[in-house]
């Protein structure tokens, strides 16, 4: 087993989401007149470590339950596959996943000490999502799997970064963090389509399993529309700067992803929609952050 495969086991191509979430939270704080390079960099490192932990522990769980041997892998879903083919040792993956989590803990402790105990509940909820998402939350049903992803790697990191850098909570920031939850929820949801049959064998209750593909596609489409409408309404109500509307530039990608989800018949046909889905999630939040920065500079 090589360092190369341990690194690839983290699925680094998907870790870009974490700095984008922190960037958006930082941009929102800058718009309110607050900024700290130290807090920004620590937040990026901490969230990336937690994201790494989620990815690796998910692969470890899929390997132990046998799901990994039945998954139809695509470029965007199905895990790394390295445990299945023996490139990564399961015990090494477990140590890597847990080690990444515990490396992030001192950063969280530092923020709690420096900025206050009000951050502790946020970090504890995030820890639950990291450590028990695959083993417990994904088996509950009722959309909890997708909601926990939308919160744990969407709204909460954006809001948390804002609170850390700004030095306090804001209802306006809470409102602005909601689209991230919709988008990251969908990031998981569409990628669950190819995994549905394999996930059944692991007693998971994801929305494609519980609702079926067509209804799950309607949920997906609704969340995409809600993410864009949330921004438009936020700007109209003065809760978000007008420059946030540049996030609407990703609408063609969102529509392509919706079309692919609604017409889903085969896993091969879904791959372009999965790609459009990832572009929608990443670029929409990146552009939102840029909108806040431009608005701050223009004010």
pLDDT in tens, 91-104: 999 999 999 999 99
Residues 45, 161, 182: CA angle, nearest 5 degrees: 105
**For 118-142, what is the mean pLDDT?**
87
pLDDT in tens, 251-298: 999 999 999 999 887 777 889 999 999 999 999 999 999 999 999 999
DSSP-assigned letters across all residues of 257-288:
HHHHHHT---HHHHHHHHHHHHHHHHHHHHHH
CB 286 within 8 A of CB 20: yes
The confidence band for 5, taking pLDDT boundaries of 50, 70 and 90, is confident
Q: Is the pLDDT of residue 1 over 70?
A: no
CA 86 to chain centre: 28
Q: 10: buried, middle or exposed (CB in 10 Å: 19+, 13-18, 0-12)?
A: buried
The confidence band for 131, taking pLDDT boundaries of 50, 70 and 90, is confident
**For 197-208, what is the mean pLDDT?**
86
All structural domains of the chain, each given as residue ranges with its CATH number in brackets, are 3-298 (1.10.600)
Q: Could you tell me if residue 163 is left (phi over 0), alpha (psi between -120 and 50 degrees) or otherwise beta?
A: alpha
pLDDT in tens, 63-81: 887 887 777 777 777 677 7
Residue 8, pLDDT score: 85
CB 157 within 8 A of CB 18: yes
Taking the alpha carbons of 129, 133, 135, 141 in that order, is the dihedral positive or negative?
positive
């Amino acid at each position: 087993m090589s360092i190369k495969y341990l690194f690839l086991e983290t699925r680094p191509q998907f870790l870009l989401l974490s700095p984008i979430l922190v960037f958006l939270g930082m941009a929102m704080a800058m718009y309110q007149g607050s900024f700290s390079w130290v807090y920004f960099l620590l937040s990026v490192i901490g969230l990336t470590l937690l994201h790494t932990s989620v990815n690796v522990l998910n692969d470890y769980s899929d390997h132990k339950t046998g799901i990994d041997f039945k998954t139809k892998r695509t470029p965007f879903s199905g895990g790394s596959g390295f445990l299945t083919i023996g490139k990564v040792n399961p015990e090494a993956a477990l140590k890597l996943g847990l080690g990444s989590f515990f490396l992030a803990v001192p950063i969280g402790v530092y923020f709690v000490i420096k900025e206050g105990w009000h951050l502790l509940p946020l970090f504890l909820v995030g820890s639950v999502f990291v450590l028990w998402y695959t083993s417990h939350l994904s088996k509950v049903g009722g959309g909890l799997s997708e909601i926990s992803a939308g919160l744990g790697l969407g709204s909460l990191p954006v809001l948390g970064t804002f609170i850390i850098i700004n030095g306090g909570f804001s209802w306006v920031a809470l409102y602005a963090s909601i689209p991230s939850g919709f988008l990251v929820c969908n990031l998981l949801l569409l990628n669950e389509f190819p995994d549905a049959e394999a996930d059944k064998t692991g007693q998971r209750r994801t929305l494609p399993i519980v609702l079926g593909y067509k209804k799950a596609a309607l949920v997906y489409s609704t969340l995409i529309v809600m993410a864009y409408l949330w921004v438009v309404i936020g700007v109209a109500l003065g809760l978000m700067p007008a420059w946030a509307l540049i996030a609407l530039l990703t609408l063609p990608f969102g529509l392509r992803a919706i079309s692919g989800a609604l017409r889903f018949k085969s896993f091969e046909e879904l791959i372009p929609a999965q790609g459009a889905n990832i572009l929608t999630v990443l670029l929409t939040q990146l552009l939102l952050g840029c909108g806040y920065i431009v608005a701050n500079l223009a004010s």
